[in-house]
Amino acid sequence: MKVARCLLASLSLVSISASAAELLYARSDGAWQSAEHPGRYSALNLLDGDPKTAWCSSGTGKGAEIEFVFSDEVRITKVSITSGNQRSEGAFSEFSRPTKIELKERDFIHPWHLRDTPTPQRKR
């Protein structure tokens, strides 16, 4: 049985805040662990600016959560997401891609319907 894993290649958070808040950690509750390449699909990959690295779910991605914790309060003004496998030319169709995600902050949920495209998608 082949499990369709869900990939996010990059996530860019643009922040305007008074302090220079530092990313303390990124964690996910459902990252796929490759025996040959441990850590290859870490949540930290989403913020490294390299679309050839990725976070990958351990299954379909449904219900998976990724959390970023900063040293101080930040105000995110723009989010950019690149979905799918961007590792090599033509690899986009090898894995499933998310079609809907939710961005959560405190008590607010921002639903986002993603297009099935290898190009970055932005939300303000």
Domain spans of the chain, in order of start: 7-123
For all residues of the chain together, what is the average pLDDT? 79
Given this model, what pLDDT does residue 14 score? 61
Cα-based angle 62, 66, 67 (whole degrees, multiple of 5): 150
Tokens of 28: 């996910």
Does an H or E element contain 122, and which? Answer: strand 121-123
> Which residue has 């679309």 as its token pair?
51
Q: Which of 67, 80, 69, 70 is nearest to 112 (CA)?
A: 80
Q: Which of 31, 28, 94 is nearest to 58 (CA)?
A: 31
The mean per-residue pLDDT over the stretch 75-93 comes to 83
Given this model, what pLDDT does residue 13 score? 60
The mean per-residue pLDDT over the stretch 72-95 comes to 83
